[in-house]
Amino acid sequence: EPEVTQTPSHQVTQMGQEVILRCVPISNHLYFYWYRQILGQKVEFLVSFYNNEISEKSEIFDDQFSVERPDGSNFTLKIRSTKLEDSAMYFCASSGHSGLIAYEQYFGPGTRLTVT
Amino acid sequence: ELKVEQNPLFLSMQEGKNYTIYCNYSTTSDRLYWYRQDPGKSLESLFVLLSNGAVKQEGRLMASLDTKARLSTLHITAAVHDLSATYFCAVDLRASGSRLTFGEGTQLTVNP
């Protein structure tokens, strides 16, 4: 069964460093998303991406964040200068084009980011 | 701004008992999702409800959607320990590509 994959599973970085989180969405999906979940809290939307551009972003997704689809399979989230409060689990998700059975978003296993 | 509220946030129940988790949302939508999350793990899709009156069942879990009341329920029948997890409802407002807005989650513990 197709699934969303993410690497690395855990990333430890020092405050101020840049990190890139990687995702491989399900191959025939066209919509991609990043969410984050601070430990013990709810899941929060960061950004959605379609047709090589951002389609929607939240107030969390400020100038320190960027997303890219550098090739036909990967979808990345970059945080330019990490802060302590960026420590969270980051989930990538993808969904099929409208007309498929649902608009259901399928989530990857997550990358735990720890900023020290 | 869309708000999604779940209750209860914590639920401890005995095996074999029934209970219902409620999910209210603030803006008209006919698209609601239920996810399960085990500790330290990802979100597993349980149900996708796409119309008023939709009811779906899988094993001991049944989800329903009342778009007029802006309410979804997740009913647990004869709970077993394996159902212990955090359950999230999530709502989106339009077709593909829309953000999901999640509730706070209900942490369910089923005791033997």
pLDDT for position A72: 77
Interface test with B, best of A51, A105, A111 (most B CBs within 10 A): A105
The token duo for B54 is 């939709």
Q: Which residues of chain B have pLDDT under 50?
A: none
CATH of the domain at A19: 2.60.40.10
Q: What is the mean pLDDT of the segment spanning A44-68?
A: 93
* Rounded CA separation B56/B62 (Å): 6
Residue in chain A lying closest to B48 (CA):
A104
Cα of B42 to nearest chain A Cα, Å? 5
* CATH (domain of B22): 2.60.40.10
What's residue A81's pLDDT?
A: 95
User: Is residue A68 one of the residues assigned to a domain?
Assistant: yes
Exposure of A65 by Cβ count < 10 A (0-12 exposed, 13-18 middle, 19+ buried)?
middle
Q: How large is the greatest C-alpha to C-alpha distance in chain A, in angstroms?
A: 44
**Yes or no, beta carbons of A106 and B98 under 8 Å apart:** no
For residue A87, the enclosing domain spans: 5-97+107-115
Average pLDDT, chain A: 91
Q: From CA A107, how far away is CA A5, in angstroms rounded? A: 9
Give a yes or no: residue A27 inside a domain: yes
Query: Which residue of B7, B42, B87, B106 to mutate against A (max A Cβ within 10 Å)?
Result: B42
Residue A43 lies in a domain: yes
Is A102 within a domain? no
Domain that includes residue B22, residue range: 4-111
Question: Within an 8 Å CB–CB cutoff, is residue A68 touching chain B?
Answer: no
CA dist., res. A81 & res. A64, Å (int): 7
Q: Which of these, A45, A27, A4, A30, lies nearest to A96 by C-alpha position? A: A30
Average pLDDT for residues A23-32, to the nearest whole number?
91
How many domains, chain A?
1
**Residue A34 neighbours by CB under 8 Å, 6+ apart:** A21, A23, A46, A47, A67, A77, A90, A91, A92, A93
Residue A34 lies in a domain: yes
Report the number of distinct structural domains present in chain B.
1
Residues B26, B94, B45, CA angle at the centre, nearest 5°? 85
Which pLDDT band holds residue A98 (cuts at 50, 70, 90)? Answer: low
Residue B98: how many other CB atoms lie within 10 Å: 21
Nearest-CA distance B82 → chain A (Å) = 20
Q: How far is CA B38 from the centre of its chain?
A: 14
Query: The dihedral of CA B52, B45, B42, B15: what is its sign?
Result: positive
Residue B57 has φ and ψ, to the nearest 5°, of -130, 140
Cα–chain center distance at B94: 19
- Residue A81: inside a domain, yes or no? yes
Looking at residue A99, what is its pLDDT? 52
Residues in chain A with CB shorter than 8 Å from the CB of B48 are 102-104
* Side-chain half-sphere exposure of A9, counting CA atoms within 13 A: 4
| pLDDT reading at A102 higher than 50 | no
Share of chain A above pLDDT 70, in %: 94
For residues B4 and B62, give the distance between their C-alpha atoms in angstroms, rounded to a whole number: 19
